[in-house]
C-alpha cells in the first residue's frame, strides 16, 4: 500500500476538494447589514399613536447567542385587527391559532401580535398548537388588564407568528421566558420599531420597516400615521401573502370591513411578488387599527356591504362601488404603502442582485395578464439569465406560453381554455431601462429583432429592470367587432434574479 506523505499531490488534491465544499452564506454572520442594502433601512420614522414595539433574546436557534428573536407589537388599548393567511394545506400552528382568535373575537378586542424567529412551529402536531397558544397567553398575561376582555373569555387577545425551520418543535420555555422581557422593552420610538423588525428576520439581510403620515378629506387637519414591518427573503410566492407582515395604523376602521380592506390591498401588493415560487406554511399579514388619532364623532372607515359580503369575487375594483371620500383616500394610501413594503421583500431576495418589474398587457382579461406575469417570475431559466446578464428573451416568451391557464395541460388542467388567450403574432417583448433611456425591443409582434448585445448588457447591469410583455400588440378592432381600440388589462409582478448564493443559502439553511 502506498504510504501517504504530507504534501504529496494526492493529499493536496483531497484538501482542495474538502475546501471547495465549504460554503459561505452571503449575509454577514455578525448580523451587520450589507452596504448595498443599508439605503433601504430607515434612520427615522413617524409611528402610529397608541402602538408600541419591543424585542428580546430567547435563543430559539442554538447558534443565536446574542440577536433578539422575539418581537412584540401591541396597541395600548384593544383594537380591531385582520389577518390574511397562507393557502398552503400544511398551515403552521401559529396560523391556525391566529385564525381562530380573529374568528372568535370577531376582529375586535385584539391587543397585538407576538413573533418568534428561528423556528416556524409548522407541521408540529398538537404540541405545536399548544405552543402557539402558550405564546399568546404569555403575551396576554403581560397586559394585566382583564377588564378589557370580551365575552370570548377563553380566546387570547394576542395573535401569533413564527418563522424559521419547518418540522421542529419550539423551545417553548425559552420563548415564554423572553416574552415578558420583550414587553418590558416596549416603546414608541424609531429604535423600538427597528429592533422589533430586526428580531423577526431569518435569512433577511436587512430589517424591512416603513412609516408614513396621511390625512383624510373630511378632516384634513388631523395627521394619521401608518407603520409596518415585514420579513421574508426566500420561500416567497403568492397564495395569500408569502411572508410575515405587521401593519398598524391609528385610523379607526370598522371591524366588519377590515379583512376586506386588507385582502383588497394585499392582492395588489404582497400577492404580486415572487422570489422562488414556494408558498410558505406560515404566511401571515396582519392589519391593526386602534383609532387613537380619530376625532370623536368621526365614523370608522368602512366598505359597501355587498363588497364585504363577497370579498373574493375575482379582481373587482373598489371604484366600482360607492364609497366615502375618506375610504377612497385611505385605500390609495394603504395600497401604496403595502406595495412599497412588499417590494422590500423582493429587494432582499435570497442571493438576489436585481429587482425586476414584470409588466404584462393583455386585451383578453386581467387573469391572462397575471398568469403570464407570474409564469415569467417563477421561471428559473429567466431568473438565471437575468443574473448572468444574458438577454435570452426566448426564455421569457417560453414562460408565457406554458403558463397555467394559458397552456392546456393534462397534468394541470386549465381552469379555462388557453386557446385565443395569447396569439404569437401579437406578442412583443422589450427591456425597459429604469434610467429613462431608449427601450430595447427584443420581439415585435412575433418577429425577433436584431438585438444589440452590448446595449442589452448595459441594461442588465443595472440593479433595477422592467420587462414589458405585450399580448395585444397589433390588435385589430375590426376583427374584434369594435369601432375603437380594445380594452386592455395590465398586471405587474415584482421578482428578482437567481444567483449562486440562493443555492448556498438554502443548502445551509438548517446550519
- pLDDT for the residue numbered 29: 53
Q: Dihedral of CA 104/106/109/110: which sign? A: positive
Separation CA 370–CA 356 (nearest Å): 15
- Please say if 242 is a catalytic residue: yes
**Angle, helices 366-378/393-401, rounded to nearest 10 degrees:** 130
Per-residue pLDDT tens digits for 91-110: 999 999 999 999 999 999 99
- pLDDT for the residue numbered 34: 84
CB atoms within 10 A of CB 488: 15
- pLDDT for the residue numbered 233: 60
Residue 379 · residue 449 · CB < 8 Å: no
- pLDDT for the residue numbered 22: 37
List the one residue out of 461, 346, 442 whose CA is nearest residue 400.
442
Q: What is the dihedral of CA 48, 51, 57, 63, to 10 degrees?
A: -50
Distances (CA, A) of 451 to 208, 280, 401, 416: 38, 39, 22, 35
**E strand or H helix that includes residue 71:** strand 70-85
Residue 250 · residue 213 · CB < 8 Å: no
**Angle, helices 380-387/393-401, rounded to nearest 10 degrees:** 160
- pLDDT for the residue numbered 315: 46
Which residues have a Cβ under 8 Å from the Cβ of 310 and sit 6 or more positions away? none
pTM for the whole structure: 0.86
CATH of 35-347, one of 3.90.1200.10, 3.60.70.12, 3.90.320.10, 1.20.1260.10: 3.60.70.12
Per-residue pLDDT tens digits for 137-195: 999 999 876 554 444 456 899 999 999 888 999 999 999 999 999 999 999 999 999 99
DSSP state of 432: E
- Which strands, in side-by-side order, build the sheet including 355-362? 447-448, 440-444, 428-433, 464-470, 355-362, 489-496
In the set 86, 242, 281, 357, the catalytic residue is: 242
Superfamily in which the 355-507 domain is placed by CATH: ArgJ beta chain, C-terminal domain (3.10.20.340)
Separation CA 511–CA 508 (nearest Å): 5
Question: Which residues are part of a known binding site?
Answer: 202, 231, 242, 350, 506
355-507 shares the fold of 35-347? no
Residues of the chain with pLDDT under 50: 1-7, 13-27, 148-152, 313-315, 412, 414-418, 479-480, 482-484
Q: What percent of the chain has pLDDT over 70?
A: 80
- pLDDT for the residue numbered 23: 34
Q: In terms of DSSP bridges, do strands 244-249 and 284-289 run parallel, antiparallel, or are they unpaired?
A: parallel
Which residues have a Cβ under 8 Å from the Cβ of 49 and sit 6 or more positions away? 225, 250, 290, 292, 293
Cα angle, residue 447 at apex, residues 445 and 452 outer, rounded to 5°: 115
- pLDDT for the residue numbered 31: 65
Residue 27 · residue 205 · CB < 8 Å: yes
- pLDDT for the residue numbered 25: 36
Distances (CA, A) of 213 to 251, 256, 269: 11, 24, 19
Helix segments in 359-463, DSSP class H: 366-378, 380-387, 393-401, 453-461
- pLDDT for the residue numbered 300: 97
* Secondary structure (3-state) at 483: coil
* Domain ranges for the chain: 35-347, 355-507
- pLDDT for the residue numbered 33: 86
- pLDDT for the residue numbered 323: 85
Question: Which residues are part of a known binding site for substrate?
Answer: 202, 231, 242, 350, 506
Amino acid at each position: 500500500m502506498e504510504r501517504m506523505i504530507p504534501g504529496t499531490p494526492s493529499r493536496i488534491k483531497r484538501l482542495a476538494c474538502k475546501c471547495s465544499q465549504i460554503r459561505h452564506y452571503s449575509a454577514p454572520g455578525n448580523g451587520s447589514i450589507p452596504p448595498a442594502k443599508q439605503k433601504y433601512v430607515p434612520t427615522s420614522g413617524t409611528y402610529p399613536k397608541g402602538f408600541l414595539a419591543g424585542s428580546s433574546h430567547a435563543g430559539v436557534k442554538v447558534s443565536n447567542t446574542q440577536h433578539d428573536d422575539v418581537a412584540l407589537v401591541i396597541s395600548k388599548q384593544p383594537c380591531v385587527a385582520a389577518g390574511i393567511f397562507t393557502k398552503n394545506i400544511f398551515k403552521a400552528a401559529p396560523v391556525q391559532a391566529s385564525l381562530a382568535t380573529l374568528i372568535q373575537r370577531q376582529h375586535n378586542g385584539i391587543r397585538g401580535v407576538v413573533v418568534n424567529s428561528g423556528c416556524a412551529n409548522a407541521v408540529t402536531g398538537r404540541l405545536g398548537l399548544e405552543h402557539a397558544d402558550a405564546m399568546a397567553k404569555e403575551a396576554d398575561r403581560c397586559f394585566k388588564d382583564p377588564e378589557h376582555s370580551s365575552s370570548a373569555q377563553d380566546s387570547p387577545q394576542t395573535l401569533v407568528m413564527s418563522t424559521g425551520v419547518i418540522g421542529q418543535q419550539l423551545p417553548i420555555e425559552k420563548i415564554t421566558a423572553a416574552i415578558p422581557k420583550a414587553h418590558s422593552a416596549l416603546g414608541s420610538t424609531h429604535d423600538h420599531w427597528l429592533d422589533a423588525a430586526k428580531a423577526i428576520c431569518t435569512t433577511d439581510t436587512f430589517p424591512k420597516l416603513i412609516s408614513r403620515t396621511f390625512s383624510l378629506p373630511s378632516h384634513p387637519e388631523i395627521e394619521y400615521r401608518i407603520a409596518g414591518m415585514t420579513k421574508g427573503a426566500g420561500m416567497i410566492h403568492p397564495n395569500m401573502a408569502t411572508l410575515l407582515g405587521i401593519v398598524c395604523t391609528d385610523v379607526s376602521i370598522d371591524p366588519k370591513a377590515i379583512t376586506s380592506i386588507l385582502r383588497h390591498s394585499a392582492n395588489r401588493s404582497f400577492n404580486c411578488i415572487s422570489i422562488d415560487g414556494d408558498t410558505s406554511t406560515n404566511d401571515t399579514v396582519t392589519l391593526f387599527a386602534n383609532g387613537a388619532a380619530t376625532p370623536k364623532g368621526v365614523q370608522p372607515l368602512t366598505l359597501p356591504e355587498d363588497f364585504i359580503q363577497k370579498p373574493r369575487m375575482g379582481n373587482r375594483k373598489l371604484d366600482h362601488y360607492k364609497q366615502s371620500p375618506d375610504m377612497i383616500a385611505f385605500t390609495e394610501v394603504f395600497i401604496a404603502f403595502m406595495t412599497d413594503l412588499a417590494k422590500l421583500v423582493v429587494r432582499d431576495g435570497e442571493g438576489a442582485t436585481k429587482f425586476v418589474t414584470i409588466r404584462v398587457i393583455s386585451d383578453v382579461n386581467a387573469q391572462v395578464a397575471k398568469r403570464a406575469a407570474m409564469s415569467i417570475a417563477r421561471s428559473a431559466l429567466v431568473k438565471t439569465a437575468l443574473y448572468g446578464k444574458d438577454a435570452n428573451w426566448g426564455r421569457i416568451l417560453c414562460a408565457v406560453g406554458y403558463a397555467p391557464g394559458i397552456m392546456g395541460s393534462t397534468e394541470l388542467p386549465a381552469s379555462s381554455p388557453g386557446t385565443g388567450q395569447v396569439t404569437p403574432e401579437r406578442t412583443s417583448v422589450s427591456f425597459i431601462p429604469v434610467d429613462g433611456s431608449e427601450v430595447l425591443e427584443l420581439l415585435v409582434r412575433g418577429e425577433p429583432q436584431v438585438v444589440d448585445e452590448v446595449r442589452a448588457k448595459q441594461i442588465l447591469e443595472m440593479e433595477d429592470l422592467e420587462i414589458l410583455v405585450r399580448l395585444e400588440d397589433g390588435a385589430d378592432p375590426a376583427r374584434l367587432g369594435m369601432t375603437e381600440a380594445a380594452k386592455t388589462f395590465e398586471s405587474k409582478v415584482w421578482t428578482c434574479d437567481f444567483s449562486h448564493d440562493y443555492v448556498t443559502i438554502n443548502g445551509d439553511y438548517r446550519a
